[in-house]
Structure 1
Amino acid sequence: MMELQEAKKEVMLGGLHEKIKQVYGCGDEDCETIAQRYADAMDCFASLYGTDRDISIFSAPGRTEIGGNHTDHQHGHVLAAAVNLDTIAVAARSSSSLIRVKSQGYPEDVIDLTDLAVREEEKNTSRALIRGVAARFVRMGYPINGFDAYTTSQVKSGSGLSSSAAFEVLIGTILNALFCDGKESMMQIAQAGQYAENVYFGKPSGLMDQAASSIGGFVSMDFGDIKKPKAKQVVFDLNSYGYVLCIIDTHASHADLTPDYAAIPAEMHQVAAYFDKDVLREVPEPLFYQNIPQVREAVGDRPVLRAMHFYADDRRAQAEASALRRGYFEKFKRLIRESGNSSFMYLQNIYSASSWDKQAVSVTLGLIDHFASHLPEKDALAWRVHGGGFAGTVQAFVPQKYIESFVTAMDAWLGEGSCRVLRVRPAGGTQML
């Protein structure tokens, strides 16, 4: 920790530039902008909580799902990655039992560590996430005390980059640094975030989002043992292959789509239950195909199709990670396209069957296909639905030499600012200072 004014001077004089480049995977040209953002956050902290404080700076990234669409809740494999958009915090210990967090654009959240019980009235709020992460660290046996923090985020709600996971990992990273001597693993921090989201926030999410944000880089995950999931960073430099990652906003709302999202795991569970198992990971694929007529009769056709997607995309997520490790980028792109086709044909999470006239994701995928078909190089692009589906965003891997024309085309078709060019961030949740 460092006294606030001294810390600001250190940041503005370039003292964090090397660490910024390592964490964000950026060049010298971005360091000043990021340092200024830290300095502005310190000014906001000072105006709220005083200048005479010893502070630390923390960062947690948003994430993108690369492979394994709706495979995690069936205890399968996923390939994800952290991105260079993040949520940052300036934080300082306090002498009280209160955690006070003021996020830019939102009211201050205050929780008392003497009362960490789940509160129904806090469901779906950031206060619930803070209380839940703190409760998890207390359950792990750490002497958590109060702190004050100011946060600001580039990971906007609804962007498809998991703003909630970035916030949860940020809080966990702060607690780990201030009160645990940094002893907890990145996976434990991720699990604390998932616990907060499931139990306190009230959303039955998997662990993929939090693990990708906490670990950083490309991350290959195996949820076979849900209590002890495996995650391993995959070292791969997308830039060195002449590609960038784009996230395209389809401008479709997630409102009223809860039944569609809930139906996917529910129908996969129906197939597993036919074999007296809880999840599809426990049902051998050959056994599933040997019993197709009986399963169709028992649960219907869409659950069968969604199970077919699970088995294929579970293998693809592993093959994608292997392809990146070996530098087989053309194979990786082919697998991404296959995953996208499977999501459309088998998983059927591209549009809601109850709103067939609203197909923003379908249209966006079609527009990317149209753009790609007019390029001189066959299969130059790779693209697929991003995240849960039905609305939200689409992901594309685009050659750098075509990025200007790609962004121009997407923005012309879908609206200015629809296409965002991102980097894969090498580091996850990090104490910057």
Structure 2
Amino acid sequence: MAEPDRSPAGLADEFARIFGHRPEGIWAGPGRVNLIGEHTDYNAGYVLPFAIDRQTCVAVARRADRSVRLATMLSPHEVSAAELDEAGPGRPGGRARDWTAYPLGVAWALGEAGVDVPGFEMLVDSTVPVGAGLSSSAALECAAALALAELAGAGLSLPQLAAAGQRAENDVVGAPTGIMDQTASLLGREGAAVFLDCRSGRTETVPLRLEAAGLDCLVIDTKVSHAHADGGYADRRAACERAAALLGVGALRDLAVSDLPAVRRRLDGTAFRRVRHVVTENARVLEAVRLLRGPGPLAVGGVLDAGHASLREDFEVSCPELDLAVEAARAAGAAGARMTGGGFGGCVLALVPHARLAAVSTAVADAFAGRGYAAPEAFTVRPSAGARRLS
């Protein structure tokens, strides 16, 4: 059987086959890799993600009623039906445990923001791996938000669209994530990272200069799937909120590394380690921005290594497969490596010199085979533009 045409034209043709007419447009939202700054966003801290050249595309057309029809190229023979008035927390369309909760949640969140969202038909296709920590959910949310806001004639800013995507994920899907993923997907720039202050919402573009430094960004998908709506992520967020309340600060962002000795005396061992990760991770983001603006990305390798150690030991969101991928990549010549994403599975990000790319990929695959783990998938990504209309 021939492979389906995954181009925008092919998506439009498939939309016409399913729904009987052409879409009004095609929009894309990229996945993201977080260079550094993990579990700091919901603590009002700093993050440094970048959009990648793997994306989710949506073909969309308005309907004359309040009905929604949803289909995906990944399951081309299924069309899901819903009503806009049934989308939202606590309603029949709310907290669905399949992919349709994301566009339905975005439609609800836009409506809550005052947008008169019409009924619509949507066909989805994606090259962002699901459950790998590359934010496939935000890619879909941002593509859907951009499309629905435009078709409704709403003049929302990119930060407002990001907020709608986050609200969909928090309130409808039930995943207590911060604003980082949606911001990266919407505000990404070619060749650069987005330095985001999650308290103020202020963003800056930070050139990565990977090509000039002779580096590739290698993503190693361990194939250990995670889901932010499951308990581990929520437990870590709740622990951070409890610690902030006990310490009398608005958020862990308000603490400095120099405060940690005093903090240690007030918290039990586990709570202190959670706080120490967030505080030192914020410092690592600021250090990475300084290094990128100075000596360049080769100097950031040690920051990535320290970030992974903190996620493994203090925040305890790594797993044996992630740790092995980091160790094997570093031993084979990566300049730095760490898990990226919420943890409990997913991907490792490694900065690898061009000449060592094949060797690092092979070393990781051999290490997994030696432990009897499922084969990982390694691929390079490029810092890319944010969500946009394709046609």
Q: Normalising to structure 2: TM-score of the pair? A: 0.87
SS at match of 2:71: strand
2:83 maps to which residue? 112
Change (3 A) 1:46 1:419: same
Q: State the Cα distance separating 1:193 from its structure 2 match.
A: 0.7
Out of 346, 349, 352, the position equivalent to 1:398 is 352
Change (3 A) 1:256 1:151: closer
1:11 maps to which residue? none
SS at match of 2:356: helix
> Amino acid of the residue matched to residue 325 of structure 2?
T
Q: State the Cα distance separating 1:104 from its structure 2 match.
A: 1.7
Change (3 A) 1:404 1:142: same
Out of 352, 358, 361, the position equivalent to 2:322 is 361
- Larger CA deviation: 385-394 vs 72-81: 385-394
Change (3 A) 1:344 1:116: closer
1:85-100 matches, within 5 Å, as 85-100=54-69
> Which is greater in Rg?
1
Out of 168, 180, 198, the position equivalent to 2:141 is 168
2:248 maps to which residue? 276
Out of 26, 30, 41, the position equivalent to 2:11 is 41
> Does the 8 Å CA contact 1:60/1:88 hold for their aligned counterparts?
yes
Q: State the Cα distance separating 1:232 from its structure 2 match.
A: 2.7
> Amino acid of the residue matched to residue 15 of structure 2?
F
SS at match of 1:126: coil
Q: Structure 1 CA distance, aligned partners of 2:322 and 2:206?
A: 29
> Amino acid of the residue matched to residue 219 of structure 1?
V
Q: State the Cα distance separating 1:382 from its structure 2 match.
A: 1.0
Q: Structure 1 CA distance, aligned partners of 2:314 and 2:365?
A: 29
Q: Structure 2 CA distance, aligned partners of 1:88 and 1:258?
A: 26
* 1:336 is the counterpart of 2:309: no
1:206 maps to which residue? 178
Q: State the Cα distance separating 1:215 from its structure 2 match.
A: 1.2
Q: State the Cα distance separating 1:230 from its structure 2 match.
A: 2.3
What does the per-residue CA deviation read over 1:14-40, in whole Å, with 9 as the maximum and x for residues that have no partner?
xxxxxxxxxxxxxxxxxxx99962222
> Does the 8 Å CA contact 1:215/1:233 hold for their aligned counterparts?
no
What does the per-residue CA deviation read over 1:216-249, in whole Å, with 9 as the maximum and x for residues that have no partner?
1311111124xxx223332334223221111112
> Amino acid of the residue matched to residue 303 of structure 1?
A
Q: Structure 1 CA distance, aligned partners of 2:198 and 2:228?
A: 29
Q: State the Cα distance separating 1:88 from its structure 2 match.
A: 0.9
Q: Structure 1 CA distance, aligned partners of 2:229 and 2:60?
A: 37
2:34 maps to which residue? 65
> Does the 8 Å CA contact 1:252/1:392 hold for their aligned counterparts?
yes
Change (3 A) 1:35 1:423: farther
Change (3 A) 1:180 1:360: same
Out of 398, 410, 414, the position equivalent to 2:364 is 410
Q: Structure 2 CA distance, aligned partners of 1:255 and 1:223?
A: 22
* 1:148 is the counterpart of 2:143: no
1:25 maps to which residue? none
> Does the 8 Å CA contact 1:272/1:283 hold for their aligned counterparts?
no
* 1:424 is the counterpart of 2:378: no
* The structure with more helix, counted as a fraction of residues: 1
> Does the 8 Å CA contact 1:88/1:152 hold for their aligned counterparts?
yes
1:234-383 matches, within 5 Å, as 234-254=206-226, 258-283=230-255, 285-293=257-265, 295=266, 299-326=267-294, 328-351=296-319, 359-372=320-333, 381-383=335-337
For structure 2, the residue ranges without an aligned partner over 5 or more in a row are 369-373
2:157 maps to which residue? 185
What does the per-residue CA deviation read over 1:391-416, in whole Å, with 9 as the maximum and x for residues that have no partner?
22211011112212222332333365
What does the per-residue CA deviation read over 1:89-125, in whole Å, with 9 as the maximum and x for residues that have no partner?
2222332322322112343233323444432564133
Q: Structure 1 CA distance, aligned partners of 2:390 and 2:172?
A: 28
> Does the 8 Å CA contact 2:52/2:381 hold for their aligned counterparts?
yes
SS at match of 2:148: helix
> Does the 8 Å CA contact 1:82/1:212 hold for their aligned counterparts?
yes
2:371 maps to which residue? none
Change (3 A) 1:180 1:241: farther
Q: Structure 1 CA distance, aligned partners of 2:227 and 2:41?
A: 23
Aligned length: 377
> Does the 8 Å CA contact 2:34/2:48 hold for their aligned counterparts?
yes
Q: Structure 2 CA distance, aligned partners of 1:256 and 1:320?
A: 26
Q: Structure 2 CA distance, aligned partners of 1:288 and 1:393?
A: 30
